[in-house]
Structure 1
Amino acid sequence: MTNAAPDMAATELRHLPAVPPESPLDMPVQDFSAPPLRSAPARWRESWRTWVARLLAFGGAAAITITGFLVMLDAFGDQPMPLQIALLALFTPTFAWVGFSFCSMLAGLFAARPHDPQGAPGRARLAVVMPVYHENAATSISLLVALARDLDRAGLGGRAEIFVLSDSRDPAVAVNETLAVSAAREMSPLPVWYRRRAENTDRKSGNLAEFWRRWGGRYDQVVVLDADSVMTGDTIARLSARMEADPGLGLIQTMPMLVGGETIFARVVQFAGRVYGPTIARGVAAWSGQTGNYWGHNAIINSRAFAAACGLPRLPGKPPFGGTILSHDFVEAAALCRAGWKVRLDHDLRGSYEGCPPTLLDMATRERRWAQGNLQHLRLLGMRGLRGISRVHFIIGVLGFLMSPLWLGLILVGLMLSGWVLLSTPAYFPDYYQLFPDWPVFDSRRMLWLFIAAMAFLLVPKLIATFRAWWRPLARDAGGKRRLLASALFEILLSALIAPVQMLIQTRQIWDILRGRDSGWEAQHRAGHMPSWGYVLRHHWAHVALGLGTLAVLAWFSPAQLIWLSPIVAGLILSPFTSRYSASPVFGRWARMRGLLVTPEERATPAILADAVAIARNLPRPVAGDASVLRLGEDADALARHLSLLTEPQPAGAAQRLPAITAEAKIAHAATRTEALSFLDRPETLAMIATPALLDRWSRLPE
């Protein structure tokens, strides 16, 4: 077995300190209003393939948009009404959006396939970091242990290390983490370091920035994972070699495959990502070229490039538009590019995995934070030195959420226009001396063709990806061609039912952000659970009411329009049923048993994921509430393991030390450990479990 360090036996890893010696790396806070400081070693140019892909993606989208605009304008005649002008204003960006999605997929025909360098093995020092915040410790840490073993098998054991960066503020979770990491150190052939911050400054971006400023100089490359994501050792080895071969590379993003879906909703998202995702990623990689984007995890980063270019400032003003940059990953990619570094999406690598949200409402919770973060990017479009394609990434991220209110506005204006046509009496001779009448102009045939074109731009990429998979081993690995096609049709049907609900949810989120409501920082739900009827009705009653109201109005005034609006009306009326039953793990298992929505990773589980499941069974099981902390007083070994991973000194300021002071007083007046714990609030309990002297005094109390 390869040792984690030349002079260190694997059996001694458990005796390491909690963190390695600090190796500070200067990470200055960037001034985005000033010209960028170039830190890349050399200038570079995009290849001809990238320029052709951009011409196809953006030129094609422009041609589709102009054509749609002119056809719609012609359908309204020479003197369009105000409602028709409003419809045209809403139709144009939505038609451009679906047109660009289609052209971006076609641009993938010109995507270059990255090459793996040949020759001697690399020498880059590598850290794999996983920021965690109120996660299931056993699940997340087991992924890292499995990865450590895989890295060792891939020949990176002598130059790779694992780093857990905790921001957890729940005492029970914090104890779960230390006990899991302590056990993981005895199972891992690589060093596993652990640090929990005393203050959660700037959330995830601040968590990573603090790592870079304290230990960034120890590593040449850093792989960032999410708490439910992992990459194989071979994939990381290939990424490391590619980055080492090109000194101008600042970041390489992979295309993670979604895995572990249990509910119907998760399995639909997982299937769509597996079948359609590679085609979409290929297109984005083609027109992004060397000015790619970053999705916050499952990427490898040039450590010194990131430190030099990506110290993020706080935006002036209060949240939601000011303060900490939430969607920091887009901004970090743009900052690297403005400093002259290459950022690339390597679409060819398949050994990259992440979990998926289990329910529609869990997805909505995540999207609330993403929506706020992406709208913040509007303030960064004027960043000095921002490259054009980085600006495109910002705009696409913003439009991904603004499309929902635009679609809603388009539907409402269309209904108003239809109502006006049905209920009003046209004035054929508005001028008394007029010789010929003014006939109302509304060319329904042209409108129908525009609708068909929009649906084609939405569905054709899915069909192309499905039939592309049909002729590849993916069809066999997904249960056969018939099951692949049935799964694709089911995905399209369920997506059609969910789309109007997501449209209204995102519209409400945008409205909340515009009126100044901050998203906060909530822990993510990663395990499937079936919500109660009361829960889904509280979240979807307005959707049902709108659907029923629309159904009644259309049935009375214009039954023919129900044909076109039936997917939207049905999606709204059925939203409680869709939300609840798509969250059922039972139905998810039923679909899998019948070969529906199956992905290759389910039929042949990747070794690293299977290893992680086995490792999780051997890690300490997470415990909730006070029982987690009480373990430290009941088990001397658990207390010793926890103490061995304490690194953060208590804050020096009086206000920051107050929880420790009050905790000490309460412990002194308690008769038992349980009583003392009942006296402490959360900040005081956190101070106690982070202070060895307080823990020692508390643990000496009677049970």
Structure 2
Amino acid sequence: MNHSAELPPEIMQQRPRWRLAATVRRGLLALAVLAQTLIATYFMLSVLPYHGGNLVEASMALVFSLLFAWISVGFWIGLIGFCLRRFGGDPRSLLRQQDEATLRGTPLGRTAVVMPIYHEPVGRSLQGLKSVILSLQRTGKLADFDFFILSDSRDPDVWLAEQAAWHALREELGLEDQLFYRRRPLNLNYKSGNIGDFLRRWGKAYDYMVVLDADSLMAGETLVRMVQLMQRHPQVGILQSSPSLLNGRSLFARLQQFSNQLYGPLFTTGLAAIQLGHAAFWGHNAILRVRPFMQHCGLRKLPGWGLFKGPVLSHDFAEAAYMGRAGLEVWLEPELTQSYEESPPTLSDELTRDRRWAKGNLQHLWLMLFSRRLKLAHRMAFLNGIMGYVASPLWFTFLVLTTIEVARLILWPINYFPEQNQLFPLWPEWHPQRAVWMVSITLTLLFLPKFLAIADVLLRGRRKAFGGGIKLFCSVLLEMLISALLAPIRMLSHCRYVLEALFNVNLRWAGQNRSGETSWLAAVLNQGIGSLMALAWAGFAWWLDPMFFVWSLPVALPLVLAAPIFVLLSKVSWGEGLMRKRWLQIPEEASGSSLLDDLETPSNLLTAEQQPAFNEAIMHPQTNRLQARLAHAPRAQRQQSELQLLAQRCLQDGPAALSSAERNLLASDARSLQWLHTQVWQADPQSPWGQILARRIRTT
């Protein structure tokens, strides 16, 4: 399909400009990173006693160069972002390729807003969708959008609650013809399979599709603007907004959302400036052009072995790469504001998510190496995602090699004649001042972008949005301290996840925890082995040399204290205490947000999960009629006989006697639900259902 032939002349003239700019920008970035890495590696070799003259030191230099290059890329992207923001933004960005009046006058195309969910908190998910709908309603453009809740939930107490909440929301908002719910019978290929099922059924009816996660929030103005941009730029296949974190309550979540909102604009502006029309898709808070997405972005199963066999777990980067291969553009637009998601509430939940992402990102190695005709920029995006997790084993390897080098120098006598027939001795050289310079340069690359973010806020006059100048600075210091404590913990966990992925350990795909704290027992069980390893390493370092022990403390100490760190960071009371003092404050907490107000407005949706949904579907007359109407029609005679026996056992022994699969069968059958409803209301008060019914009546 030749998309370029369909483009207007003015679009054809714009395309070479940004591609040339992208080539120049990427070339300059590569040169800067390469030069910086070569200089740093030279200094590193000069610091080592034998200047890389043996296998251990050569390996140290190689690993160091890879890690330094990785850090250098982030530094330059942050610096580019700061410079562009100081000059008013990137003139090549998609949003700046037409004036405001033209954009506002652009009519909308038919758009589906889809929310795939899987065992998510029902009330929070649908209340968030309600906030999005109300925001769209305020724009006057609601009629151009339809909304789909796409469920993969398997627990009957979850999906029955989803159906009841969906029906209540549809009636409350009067969207009988615009708000739909579907639970597919077979959960195949995870989220991408769920989206694919929607597209096969309804995709041809829509021009665009906006994908939301269960914790996503997007303002109506942002959604309208994204559709208008897609209308104005027919060569764009995917437009990705830059979601900010919002609504954090625990100390960990508040730290994450503060750093995201403070540092994020610099890095997303810089990243977008480097990627331009070859950006990545992050899987949510984005709009996709439906027809080319259906034609070109279907994901075949990987044909390899082990990790590289089966469905693609992290589908979003792959879909962006396939869209680019088809000749369409993928853009990240940092200036699309009021696009939000939520942080995992605890470090444990974040690492659980990282475990899934590590395996999915490592799968991209196959696509990066063996997929045909992919753009180089998208191959680099794959590499970037892979390095996000491989960097941890590299860091761990560097620590091991450093320990071996120190132990060799201390425990074994120095060999001044390592080569046969060597005439002159090889003296180990020490340059501590160069080591200090190396540490200083590395810390500068890590922390200078953070101080540039502070400068960006101050220069824009937004200090009050982050609590004021003093509290902003103190919050940054707190965030930097805790980030330094978390870095070794994440490193060790990611090492484990990479090994699990390489050995193709099966993962259980489950819904994310959106609330809750970490218990001491869970923290100790999760981090106990890592803490013992760190304690042993620190003890060995002390035995070797007290100075080496001091050098090891920034890594060893957080690992030894990992369990208390897990527990304390999960505390909601600590997070809310800092919020009252305006520490770690974000702009939405200072100036308010209509989306957040709608999310926190008392609603029946937020109390929908107080009663087991399976019991409600049987006991409550209105709920029973609704669930029976949504359930299957009467089945074949043999199946109906089996279901009748199962229903009789449920009536006699109560719902607790049935497995989740058995309750699923009953909840999916209209006749069984209706029969059980009639029988339960006639049940003996001393029977299991009689007691459940009595408790339910007392609570109403």
Q: 2:615 aligns with which of 627, 630, 654?
A: 630
Alignment of 1:6-85 (within 5 A): 39=3, 41-42=6-7, 44-45=15-16, 47=18, 48-76=20-48, 77=50, 80-85=53-58
- Please identify, of 255-264 and 185-194, the stretch whose mean Cα deviation from structure 2 is larger: 185-194
Shift, 1:595, TM fit: 1.5
Partners of 2:490 and 2:51 lie apart in 1 by: 36
In 1, are the aligned partners of 2:245 and 2:343 still within 8 Å (CA)? yes
Amino acid at match of 1:420: R
Q: Which amino acid aligns with 1:537?
A: V
CA drift of 1:376 comes to: 0.5
CA distance in 2 between partners of 1:162 and 1:385 (Å)? 35
Q: What is the letter of the counterpart of residue 103 of structure 1?
A: W
The aligned amino acid for 1:71 is F
In 2, distance between residues paired with 1:508 and 1:205? 26
1:680 & 1:557 partners in 2: Cα distance? Answer: 60
Alpha-carbon spacing, 1:257–1:701, altered in 2? closer, same or farther (3 Å): same
Aligned equivalents of 1:599 and 1:246: distance in 2? 33
Partner of 2:154: 169
Note the residue ranges of structure 1 that are not aligned, 5 or more in a row.
1-36
The answer to whether the Cα contact below 8 Å between 2:646 and 2:662 also exists between their aligned partners in 1 is no
Paired residue secondary structure (2:395): helix
Contact map agreement 2:51 2:57 (CA 8 A) in 1: no
Whole-Å separation in 1 of the counterparts to 2:305 and 2:651:
42
Partner residue of 2:464? 476
Task: Decide whether the 8 Å contact of 1:479 with 1:595 is kept in 2.
Answer: yes
Residue identity in the other structure for 1:134: H
Cα separation, partners in 2 of 1:651 and 1:121, compared to 1, 3 Å: farther
AA in 2 matched with 1:262:
R
Q: 1:543 offset after TM fit, Å?
A: 2.2
Residue number in structure 2 paired with 1:569: 556
Which one of 253, 258, 271 corresponds to residue 284 of structure 1? 271
1:555 is matched with 542
- Confirm or deny that 1:400 pairs with 2:400: no
Cα shift at 1:635: 1.3
Mapped to 2, the partners of 1:410 and 1:468 lie a distance apart of 35
Shift of 1:662: 3.8
Query: For residues 275 and 601 of structure 1, what CA distance do their matches in structure 2 show?
Result: 12
For the aligned residues, what is the CA RMSD? 2.3
| Higher-helix-fraction structure | 2
Equivalent in 249, 253, 259 of residue 236 of structure 2: 249
Q: How does 1:241-390 map to 2 (within 5 A)?
A: 241-316=228-303, 320-381=307-368, 382-390=370-378
- For the structure 1 residues 320 and 615, does the alpha-carbon distance in structure 2 shift closer, same or farther, using more than 3 Å as the test? farther
Closer/same/farther in 2, CA of residues 366 and 119 from structure 1, 3 Å limit:
closer
1:415-434 matched pairs, under 5 angstroms? 415-429=403-417
Name the residue aligned to 1:673: 651
Distance 1:650 1:532, change over 3 A: farther
Question: Structure 1 residue 134 and structure 2 residue 119: aligned?
Answer: yes
Distance 1:53 1:589 in 2: 43
Tell me how far apart the structure 2 counterparts of residues 501 and 75 of structure 1 sit (CA, whole Å): 28
If the length of structure 1 is used for normalisation, what is the TM-score?
0.89
SS at match of 2:150: strand
C-alpha distance in structure 2 between counterparts of 1:597 and 1:514, whole Å: 38
Q: Distance in 1 between matches of 2:296 and 2:421?
A: 71
Helix, strand or coil: the match of 2:27? helix
Q: Which amino acid aligns with 2:671?
A: A
Which of 94, 98, 118 matches 2:71? 98
Q: Which runs of 4+ in 1 moved over 6 A?
A: 648-652
Instruction: Confirm or deny that 1:695 pairs with 2:664.
Output: no
Counterpart CA distance in 2 for 1:479 and 1:401 is 34
Q: What are the superposed Cα offsets for residues 368-425 of structure 1, whole Å, 9 maximum, x if unpaired? A: 0000000110110121110010001000000000000000110111121112122221
Superposed displacement of residue 603, structure 1: 2.3
Query: Contact between 1:39 and 1:305, CA under 8 Å: does it hold in 2?
Result: no
Whether 2:402 is the aligned partner of 1:414: answer yes
Is residue 172–residue 623 contact of structure 1 (8 Å, CA) maintained in 2? no
For residues 66-118 of structure 1, the C-alpha deviation after alignment (integer angstroms, 9 at most, x for no partner) is: 22223333444566111101111211110110011111223334533423543
1:122 is matched with 107
Choose from 172, 175, 189 the match for 1:187: 172
Does the residue aligned with 1:348 lie in a helix, a strand or coil? coil
Contact 2:628 2:671 in 1 (8 A): no
Relative to structure 1, the CA distance from residue 347 to residue 559 in structure 2 (aligned partners, 3 Å threshold; closer, same or farther) is: same
Cα distance in structure 1, aligned partners of 2:360 and 2:671: 41
Distance 1:430 1:224, change over 3 A: closer
Query: Per the alignment, do residues 674 and 614 of structure 1 end up closer, same or farther by CA in structure 2, a change over 3 Å counting?
Result: farther
Call closer, same or farther: CA 1:38–1:568 in 2, change over 3 Å: farther
Residue matched to 1:466:
454
The 8 Å contact of residues 131 and 217 in structure 2, kept in 1 or not, is answered as no
| AA at the equivalent of 2:121 | N
Structure 1's 92 and 260: CA in aligned 2 closer, same or farther, altered over 3 A?
same
Does the CA contact (< 8 Å) of 2:358 and 2:498 recur in 1? yes
Stretch of structure 1 that moved more, 319-328 or 345-354: 319-328
* Structure 1 residue 220, shift from structure 2 partner: 0.9
Post-superposition CA distance 1:122-162 (Å, at most 9, x none): 13011111001011111111111221121122121221111
TM alignment of 1:136-151, pairs within 5 A:
136-151=121-136
Counterpart contact for 2:115–2:211, Cα < 8 Å: yes
Q: Displacement of 1:568 after TM fit?
A: 1.1
1:664 is aligned to: 644
Q: State how far apart, in whole Å, the 1-side matches of 2:490 and 2:613 are.
A: 38
Deviations 1:148-206 (A, max 9, x none): 12112212122111110010000000111011111101222542100011110111000
TM-score by length of 2: 0.89
The answer for unaligned runs of 5 or more in structure 2 is 85-89, 684-700
Cα distance in 1, alignment partners of residues 168 and 52 from structure 2: 75
- The 5 Å alignment of 1:182-221 reads 182-190=167-175, 191-221=178-208
Deviations 1:18-50 (A, max 9, x none): xxxxxxxxxxxxxxxxxxx65564574352543
AA aligned to 2:666 is: M
Residue in 2 aligned with 1:152? 137
What SS class does the counterpart of residue 45 from structure 1 fall into?
A: helix
Give distance in 1, aligned partners of 2:401 and 2:521.
Answer: 33
587 and 430 in structure 1: CA distance in 2 versus 1, 3 angstrom threshold? closer
SS in 2 for 1:523: coil
CA contact under 8 A between 1:149 and 1:189: conserved in structure 2?
no
Inter-partner Cα distance in structure 2 for 1:256 and 1:522: 23
The answer (yes or no) to whether the contact 1:195–1:645 under 8 Å persists in 2 is no
Tell me, what secondary structure is at the counterpart of 1:158? helix
Could you tell me how far apart the structure 2 residues matched to 1:56 and 1:485 are?
32
Tell me if structure 1 keeps the 8 A contact 2:634–2:671: no
Q: Give the whole-Å Cα distance in 1 for the aligned partners of 2:226 and 2:422.
A: 75
Cα deviation, residue 651, structure 1 = 10
Identity of aligned residues (%): 32
1:180 and 1:620 in contact (8 A); partners too: no
Q: Is the 8 A contact 2:282 2:316 kept in 1?
A: yes
Instruction: Tell me how far 1:248 sits from its aligned partner.
Output: 0.8
Q: Name which of structure 1's ranges 453-462 and 49-58 shifts more when overlaid on structure 2.
A: 49-58
